[in-house]
């Protein structure tokens, strides 16, 4: 864990729970793509960079989830590097209570205010800043989170953030976190088209192995099938009208998930996103009875 892996002449990643990309702009200056899940991750990254004689010029956060931004503050304090992110993600990085607050739907209780869901705050600039390294291409990848992005390096390595889950993750959890189901499905289409056009030679998801174009196409299709299967399961489950809490329990039971407060907000938020999407496309509807919102299939 936390081993440096070289992909091409200038592109690397650090193998850790949420892969950290590295692009070497010249002999000494490097940019990180994400920073790990906490201060300790930041320390390990710094040790790797120092061992190579590299200077950290900047961090590009693909999105604001704590496991991708947890090393920001330590690395910024130690090196003075600039941190970049896109759109809404910048607000979540600068004000990290927003992540657990968004997931919970109110002020987050202490059970949710920890490094797994709330990273330390850091100073951040939008990717539209003139300071952004223009040799790195930003690829919009919305769906998993608000304004998530990927990065394509000049040597055609594509860092895909959290838009693709490994087969192992899909088999183990099935209901992986999504914010916008419609946007996510379009992102999967985009990644597949990009791979088919060979607009990248190596594709690096944050939570899966590095893949060739042909391999990432297969994995993209598996992710799409999983989304469609979950949507179909929810539609079938709502043949009988149910409250959200009843449906959520059935999801946990059906997919073998274990309820914790973290899983309650993560899976709960994802199920709400599926419900919103299914209602927007007129597959399900809501009714209000006896001061209860019930969901039902059409």
Q: Give the Cα separation of 141 and 145 in Å (integer).
A: 9
Q: Give the Cα separation of 24 and 30 in Å (integer).
A: 4
Question: Angle at the Cα of 135 (from 24 to 140), degrees rounded to 5?
Answer: 110
Q: Give pLDDT, residue 1.
A: 85
Domain residue extents for the chain = 3-237
pTM of the model: 0.97
List Cα–Cα distances, 169 to 89, 133, 143, 166, in angstroms: 24, 33, 18, 5
What residues in the chain have per-residue pLDDT under 50? Answer: none
Q: Give the Cα separation of 202 and 107 in Å (integer).
A: 41
Which CATH code fits 3-237? Answer: 3.60.15.10
Q: Give pLDDT, residue 59.
A: 98
Q: Give pLDDT, residue 279.
A: 98
Q: Give the Cα separation of 234 and 254 in Å (integer).
A: 11
List Cα–Cα distances, 46 to 55, 75, 104, 122, in angstroms: 9, 7, 33, 17
Give the bridge partners for 151, in sequence order. 138, 159
């Amino acid at each position: 864990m936390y081993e440096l892996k070289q992909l091409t002449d200038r592109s690397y990643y650090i193998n850790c729970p949420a892969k950290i990309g590295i692009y070497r702009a010249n002999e000494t200056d490097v940019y990180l793509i994400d920073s790990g899940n906490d201060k300790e991750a930041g320390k390990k990254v710094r040790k790797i960079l120092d061992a190579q004689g590299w200077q950290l010029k900047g961090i590009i956060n693909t999105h604001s989830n704590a496991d991708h931004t947890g090393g920001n503050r330590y690395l910024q304090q130690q090196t003075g590097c600039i941190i970049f992110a896109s759109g809404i993600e910048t607000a979540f990085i600068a004000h990290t209570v927003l992540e657990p607050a968004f997931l919970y739907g109110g002020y987050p209780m202490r059970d949710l205010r920890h490094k797994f869901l709330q990273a330390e705050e850091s100073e951040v600039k939008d990717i539209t800043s003139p300071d952004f390294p223009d040799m790195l291409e930003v690829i919009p990848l919305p769906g998993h989170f608000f304004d998530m992005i990927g990065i394509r390096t000049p040597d055609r390595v594509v860092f895909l953030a959290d838009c693709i889950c490994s087969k192992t993750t899909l088999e183990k959890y099935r209901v992986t976190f999504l914010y916008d189901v419609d946007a996510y499905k379009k992102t999967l289409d985009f990644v597949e088209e990009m791979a088919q056009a060979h607009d990248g030679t190596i594709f690096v998801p944050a939570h899966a192995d590095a893949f060739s174009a042909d391999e990432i196409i297969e994995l993209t299709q598996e992710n799409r099938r999983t989304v469609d299967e979950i949507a179909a399961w929810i539609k079938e489950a709502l043949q009988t009208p149910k409250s959200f809490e009843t449906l959520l329990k059935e999801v946990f039971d059906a997919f073998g998930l274990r309820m914790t407060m973290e899983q309650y907000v993560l899976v709960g938020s994802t199920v709400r996103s599926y419900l919103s999407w299914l209602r927007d496309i007129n597959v399900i509807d809501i009714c209000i009875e006896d001061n209860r919102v019930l969901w039902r299939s059409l």
